[in-house]
Amino acid sequence: MRGNFAGVIINRLALHIDKIFDYRIPDELADKISVGSHVFVPFGRGKKLIDGYVLSVNTETDFTGDLKEISSLASPEPLFDEEMLAVAKHLKDTCFCSYISAIKAILPPGSGRRNKVNDKLIRISRLNLPCDEAFEVLDVLRSKAPKQAQILELLIQNDFVANADITFLTGAGYAAIKALKEKGFIKEEIIETLRMPLNYDEIVPTCSPQLNDEQRCAVDTITQSIKNDASDTFLLHGITGSGKTEVFLNCIENALESNKTAIVLVPEISLTPQMVTRFVSRFGKKIAVLHSALSLGERADEYKRIKRGEATVVVGARSAIFAPIKNIGVIVIDEEHETSYKAENAPTYHARDIAQLRTDMNNAVCILASATPSVESFYKANSGEYKLLTLSHRATGAELPEIIVSDMRDELKSGNRSCIGSTLMSEMQKNLDRGEQTILFLNRRGFSTFVSCRSCGYVAKCKNCDITLTYHKSRNTLTCHYCGYTIKKPDKCPECDSKFIKEFGTGTQKVEEELKNLFPEMSVIRMDVDTTGAKSSHQTLLARFSEEKTDVLLGTQMVSKGLDFPNVTLVGVLAADQSLGIDDFRANERTFNLITQVCGRAGRGKKHGRAVIQTYMPENQTLELSKSQDYLSFYKEEIQLRQSLNFPPFCDIVSVLLTSENEQKLHDYAQNIAKSLHQVMAHDAGGYYEILGPAVASIPRIGGKYRFRIWVKCTLDKKCTDIFSRLRNYHIKQGNNINMVIENNPYNTL
């Protein structure tokens, strides 16, 4: 539409200007400006030009004063269309974030200007402080060091950016990056760029195997909906290896035949070359891959192919849900229960919600696939909101592994202090003798090793965050995993001078040492955040393991997903209790998922698989149910619990997190906010609600800032969503030094 006026949002994160400003469109730009145009406009009192994005083009304006004119275009092509703008508006309304951060979520990587870097090892930078704080720093830097501000802004928008890209995009020299690093705002890492197997010529094309009856039925039902333009959501429930991927590959094929397109989301961690090859061998050059380990340039290039309509199937992690693809026929979310589908920084959207919005707008079908669906999704399938499709057996006929629960209390009684119990030990010996491979899994909680004094009980904690420091043996340092604070490990106790200050807890390094003592002849590959840094990447370690020359793969959650090695016949879960003890209503669900995933790694091939689960509470209900791999029984127990305690899916749960350096002011303000919430909810909420707190958050202080949280249970309908938007606006008007983050159904509750 041609118009005389444009509504523009300014590309600044300052909250008081987070609204739409009207500008006059000069005649010479009238043909070039549309929704999504990236423009320069005069802003504020000076003559300075600032960039912004056009959100509307109108023939009239309500503004009565003297309107300024748009000065020029900042990018030749519009960066988004009406459909994606609607997505951004939805983000703003449901994630309680600023307009501009919602817009940033839908922009192409690097916003249009772009070239590429292709080194194998690249040096990258990423933020070293929470996003909110980065925004504050940004405001200060803008006047003092504009180049540094530009860099910081780029890093707020992207998980990480190659240094070469940073200097290219901002025109800043390396000195600016170094200065930011020295101030502690950003950190540098060396990573290996994933060479995605997009050398199409080398990949052998494949076609679908003959589908079994259940698969056939699922494909036919879904295809029917695609053909009828019915925006149905299907929950495809099937154990690992039951052929879910084959089902959605076939559905996508049918969508393409009807000239429609597809988006497939997979968890970041399972976006392996193995997985991508499977898609490319079926769809060839129609596939575009969006992956955060691609350089910014490569990502931008993939965006171009999608926009031009060359790529019609997008495969990617969470943010691929914003791919600018047209005429969508189907959106697939594989492993839909994965928590990585929820964004942790603003806008804190869940990919499932955005998928549903986009399928509604396109009259397309949404497929949620999982062996262990989220309790929320299964509830919706039971109540008829989603359509349930079930695959009940493994497509290749391989058996599920036998699961053995090993009671670690007996080990302690018999004097075995090792983290490997006698059951696991003898199973490992069998594998060693037979030349079969083993995967040992230690989850994240178990990974942290802390240092304490055995004389006085002193525990080394972070001076900024009040949480226990983690010991890193290879560097002999203690590090805070939240703020990065690092000290050398003390030789004697700072409290009582005792020399008996030692590490406690079980980390992967410690397990590795124990393995060396127990089985001196055994070869072990350890995979955790320490070993998958600069030198040897995730992929190289896995490649070494898959050559079958290594006996054991030991690791954190990296080893729990998506790996498929036929010679692995034994999986050990070293400490299953670690994820049960967490103070979070999702703890059971997480444990069940985790054990199912890990055990799914054993016996993928023809040989019989076993899984040994070590625990101090073998009678725990969730462990019992994961032992029999009985999702339905687990769901029945869990849904009753959720209902009786009123947790999702029976309500939404909203976190209002307040942080500040001034504890007293924060405390008083949190009390006030809670009081107003009580009043407003009583008046406007309509339905059930409950307000909990304010209480000190599980981690009381991070990076010098105290943290208080208010939990609100309610149903986030229009009325309640409005209440939280108003709360946010009220807070912005206060202009105090307190930070407020409102989040809808967060996964991170620390």
For binding to Zn ion (CB under 5 A), which residues are involved?
A: 453, 455-456, 458, 462, 464-465, 480, 482-483, 485, 493, 495-496, 498
In angstroms, give the least distance from the CB of 356 to ligand ADP: 22
β-sheet bridge partners, residue 404: 612
In angstroms, give the least distance from the CB of 245 to ligand ADP: 3
572 binds ligand ADP, rule: CB under 6 A: no
In angstroms, give the least distance from the CB of 498 to Zn ion: 5
- For residues 687 and 651, give the distance between their C-alpha atoms in angstroms, rounded to a whole number: 10
β-sheet bridge partners, residue 741: 657
Are the beta carbons of 471 and 604 closer than 8 angstroms?
Answer: no
264 binds ligand ADP, rule: CB under 6 A: no
Of 46 and 397, nearer to ligand ADP (C-beta) is 397
Candidate list 118, 396, 640, 672; residue touching ligand ADP; CB under 6 A: 396
Between CA 377 and CA 384, with CA 381 as vertex, the angle to 5 degrees is: 135
Q: Could you tell me which stretch among 12-20, 208-216, 476-484, 676-684 binds ligand ADP (CB under 6 A)?
A: 208-216
In angstroms, give the least distance from the CB of 480 to Zn ion: 3
In the structure encoding, which two tokens stand for residue 506, read together? 């079980």
Between CA 350 and CA 360, with CA 356 as vertex, the angle to 5 degrees is: 150
Q: Phi/psi class of residue 397: alpha, beta or left (left: φ > 0; alpha: ψ in -120 to 50)?
A: left
Contacts 24+ apart (CB under 8 A), 349-357: 349/91, 349/94, 349/95, 349/105, 350/745, 351/265, 351/318, 351/321, 352/377, 353/94, 354/87, 354/90, 354/91, 354/321, 354/322, 355/263, 355/265, 355/321, 355/331, 356/233, 357/86, 357/87, 357/90
- Give the side-chain half-sphere CA count within 13 A for 720: 23
Residue 465 touches which of ligand ADP, Zn ion, none (Cβ within 5-8 Å per kind) = Zn ion
Of 257 and 495, nearer to Zn ion (C-beta) is 495
- Cite the beta strand spans of 363-424 per DSSP E: 365-370, 387-391, 402-407
Q: Is 77 helix (H, G, I), strand (E, B) or coil?
A: coil
Between CA 118 and CA 121, with CA 119 as vertex, the angle to 5 degrees is: 140
Between CA 659 and CA 667, with CA 662 as vertex, the angle to 5 degrees is: 65
238 binds ligand ADP, rule: CB under 6 A: yes
Candidate list 4, 212, 557, 749; residue touching ligand ADP; CB under 6 A: 212
Candidate list 193, 245, 374, 470; residue touching ligand ADP; CB under 6 A: 245
Q: Could you tell me which stretch among 124-132, 204-212, 577-585, 725-733 binds ligand ADP (CB under 6 A)?
A: 204-212
Residue 464 touches which of Zn ion, ligand ADP, none (Cβ within 5-8 Å per kind) = Zn ion
In angstroms, give the least distance from the CB of 528 to Zn ion: 20
- For residues 167 and 169, give the distance between their C-alpha atoms in angstroms, rounded to a whole number: 6
Residue 171 touches which of ligand ADP, Zn ion, none (Cβ within 5-8 Å per kind) = none
Residue 240 touches which of ligand ADP, Zn ion, none (Cβ within 5-8 Å per kind) = ligand ADP
- For residues 243 and 121, give the distance between their C-alpha atoms in angstroms, rounded to a whole number: 36
- For 346-373, letters b (16+ CB in 10 Å) and e give bbbbbbbbbbbbbbebbbbbbbbbbbbb
Residue 215 touches which of ligand ADP, Zn ion, none (Cβ within 5-8 Å per kind) = ligand ADP
In angstroms, give the least distance from the CB of 389 to ligand ADP: 12
Looking at residues 720 to 749 of the shown chain, list those that interact with ligand ADP (rule: CB under 6 A): none
- Output the CA–CA distances (angstroms, integers) from residue 480 to 464, 467, 468, 747, in the order listed: 9, 7, 7, 21
Kindly tell me the burial class for residue 96, based on how many C-beta atoms sit within 10 Å of its own C-beta (0-12, 13-18, 19 or more).
buried
Residue 211 touches which of Zn ion, ligand ADP, none (Cβ within 5-8 Å per kind) = ligand ADP
Could you tell me the end-to-end alpha-carbon distance of the chain, in angstroms, rounded to an integer?
48
**Residues whose CB falls within 8 Å of the CB of residue 43, separated by 6 or more in sequence, listed in order:** 10, 21, 49, 50, 52
Are the beta carbons of 371 and 560 closer than 8 angstroms?
Answer: no
372 binds ligand ADP, rule: CB under 6 A: no
In angstroms, give the least distance from the CB of 550 to ligand ADP: 23
602 binds ligand ADP, rule: CB under 6 A: no
Would you call the peptide bond into 649 cis, given omega within 30 degrees of 0 as the criterion? Answer: yes
- For residues 289 and 726, give the distance between their C-alpha atoms in angstroms, rounded to a whole number: 39
390 phi/psi in degrees, rounded to 5: -120, 135
In angstroms, give the least distance from the CB of 513 to Zn ion: 25
217 binds ligand ADP, rule: CB under 6 A: no
233 phi/psi in degrees, rounded to 5: -110, 125
209 binds ligand ADP, rule: CB under 6 A: yes
Candidate list 51, 165, 246, 436; residue touching ligand ADP; CB under 6 A: 246
- For residues 204 and 62, give the distance between their C-alpha atoms in angstroms, rounded to a whole number: 60
In angstroms, give the least distance from the CB of 490 to Zn ion: 10
Select from 351, 185, 132, 386 the least CA-distant residue to 263: 351
In angstroms, give the least distance from the CB of 503 to Zn ion: 14
Residue 131 touches which of Zn ion, ligand ADP, none (Cβ within 5-8 Å per kind) = none
Of 369 and 483, nearer to Zn ion (C-beta) is 483
Residue 421 touches which of Zn ion, ligand ADP, none (Cβ within 5-8 Å per kind) = none
Of 252 and 670, nearer to ligand ADP (C-beta) is 252
Of 469 and 714, nearer to Zn ion (C-beta) is 469
Residue 483 touches which of ligand ADP, Zn ion, none (Cβ within 5-8 Å per kind) = Zn ion
243 binds ligand ADP, rule: CB under 6 A: yes
Residue 498 touches which of ligand ADP, Zn ion, none (Cβ within 5-8 Å per kind) = Zn ion
In angstroms, give the least distance from the CB of 608 to ligand ADP: 17
373 binds ligand ADP, rule: CB under 6 A: no
Residue 395 touches which of ligand ADP, Zn ion, none (Cβ within 5-8 Å per kind) = ligand ADP
Q: Count residues contacting ligand ADP (CB under 6 A)?
A: 15
Select from 735, 741, 663, 656 the least CA-distant residue to 704: 663
In angstroms, give the least distance from the CB of 493 to Zn ion: 3
Residue 238 touches which of Zn ion, ligand ADP, none (Cβ within 5-8 Å per kind) = ligand ADP
395 binds ligand ADP, rule: CB under 6 A: yes
Candidate list 98, 233, 242, 629; residue touching ligand ADP; CB under 6 A: 242
215 binds ligand ADP, rule: CB under 6 A: yes
Residue 462 touches which of Zn ion, ligand ADP, none (Cβ within 5-8 Å per kind) = Zn ion
Cα 544 to chain center, whole Å?
A: 27
241 binds ligand ADP, rule: CB under 6 A: yes
Residue 557 touches which of Zn ion, ligand ADP, none (Cβ within 5-8 Å per kind) = none
Of 238 and 693, nearer to ligand ADP (C-beta) is 238
Please tell me what DSSP assigns to residue 239.
Answer: -
Are the beta carbons of 370 and 339 closer than 8 angstroms?
Answer: no
In angstroms, give the least distance from the CB of 468 to Zn ion: 10
Q: Could you tell me which stretch among 59-67, 164-172, 206-214, 525-533 binds ligand ADP (CB under 6 A)?
A: 206-214
309 phi/psi in degrees, rounded to 5: 85, 10
Please tell me what DSSP assigns to residue 160.
Answer: -
Residue 453 touches which of Zn ion, ligand ADP, none (Cβ within 5-8 Å per kind) = Zn ion
Residue 653 touches which of Zn ion, ligand ADP, none (Cβ within 5-8 Å per kind) = none
Binding site for ligand ADP (CB under 6 A): 209-212, 215, 238, 240-246, 395-396
